[in-house]
Chains A and B, each alone.
Chain A
Amino acid sequence: MIAFWILAPVMVVAALGMVLARKAVHCALLLAVVMISLAVLYAVQDAPFLFAVQIIVYTGAILMLFLFVLMLVGVDASDSVVETIRGQRLASVLLGLGFGVLLVLGVAQVSVGTVVGLSEANAGGNIEGIAAVLFSTYFLAFEVTAALLITAALGAMVLAHRERLTPKATQADLAAQRMRDYAEHGKHLGPLPPPGVYARHNAVDTPALLPDGSPAPTSLSRVLTARGSTLSPPGSATQVERIGGSDEDVAPRDDAPEGGAGR
């Protein structure tokens, strides 16, 4: 019972956080907390087989599938806060509160009599007991489950499969496309410039300098620019000094051109 009183608040808080968290990845991680705690509660209640199945199937397979799809769809696809139906959020929270209070009160008042416990049913081992029931009483349901799994796998393959409508571009096609871009739009033919290398700072977030001293935007990764985590060339050295603590006497730098790109 100690495990229950420790895990129950954790689970309720994690579940509430799942409903409230804006980012889908946070929801998935909080759901993992709830599921692992549930697995421990199964173990407490004499269900070691379902404890293992819960961890392997739910946390191992289903949550990983969720995370895969989240990565495909885009991690920062956060929820919109716009309500399509006015007052829907408030109404559903009120409805949920009423439903929850009714359900909890109802469940708390019902008594199922004395708790028998599973020590007799689990006498020959929990897995052996489950197997004995599963392969006798529930044999037909178990067989139908096989059909369900095959149908689900086929359905997922049919849904996720995408037919290629255009032929795949070969290396020769890509080279021809580059030459055409150069001839028609004057797009640079060679590889992109590397990021800037200075005496005190060289990292992929520092742009290289063009001959006229302005930073070259093509020398940075598009992702870094979109995130806004890039440095401007002369600014970077002073930032390094500030982290080091010697804010006052920044020596004049010899690696950035005078009057170069602004901070």
Chain B
Amino acid sequence: MSETPFLVLSAILFTIGAVGVLTRRNAIVVFMCVELMLNAGNLALITFARTTGTLDGQIAAFFVMVVAAAEVVVGLAIIMTIFRTRRSASVDDASLLKY
């Protein structure tokens, strides 16, 4: 079982996530695309753990999951707060700092 197909899949998923972050306007969907990118990174880490024969890659993926959980909690709370004050979850509407 070679490692290249897994790495290619990880690269494709990461790219799709990045394009989603660039194109979507809904803050929650942008957030989901960030999660997709993190997951693609995890897949690469676990594949590397198998190719090197050590468990460090799996540990790194585990820490990525923990950080992602914390990030989602705080990020969704921020989106909720913005929605409450501006009645919109679009990333274009939170532009007050520009003026």
Using CB atoms and an 8 Å cutoff, list the residues of chain A in contact with chain B. 1, 4, 8, 11-12, 15-16, 18-19, 24, 27-28, 31, 34-35, 38, 41-42, 45-47, 49-50, 53-54, 57-58, 61-62, 65-66, 69-70, 72-73, 77-80, 84, 88-89, 92-93, 95-96, 99-100, 103-104, 107-108, 110-113, 115-118, 120-122, 126, 129-130, 133-134, 137-138, 141, 145, 148-149, 151-153, 155-156, 159-160, 162
Hey, which chain A residues are within 8 Å of B49, CB to CB?
A: 45, 47, 118
Q: Are A104's CB and B42's CB within 8 A?
A: no
**Chain B 11-36 interface 0/1 with A at a Cβ cutoff of 8 Å (1 = within):** 11111111110111110110111011
Q: Are B62's CB and A92's CB within 8 A?
A: no
Hey, which chain A residues are within 8 Å of B76, CB to CB?
A: 65-66, 69, 156
Interface residues on B, range: 35 or more
**Chain B 54-94 interface 0/1 with A at a Cβ cutoff of 8 Å (1 = within):** 11101101110111111111101111110110000110100
Hey, which chain B residues are within 8 Å of A72, CB to CB?
A: 80, 83
Q: Are B24's CB and A79's CB within 8 A?
A: yes
Hey, which chain A residues are within 8 Å of B62, CB to CB?
A: 49-50, 53, 130, 134
Q: How many A-B pairs with Cβ below 8 Å?
A: 228
18 pairs, CB–CB < 8 Å, chain A vs chain B: A12-B12, A12-B16, A27-B29, A27-B32, A41-B46, A54-B65, A65-B72, A73-B28, A100-B15, A108-B8, A112-B52, A118-B49, A120-B53, A145-B67, A149-B70, A151-B70, A156-B73, A160-B77
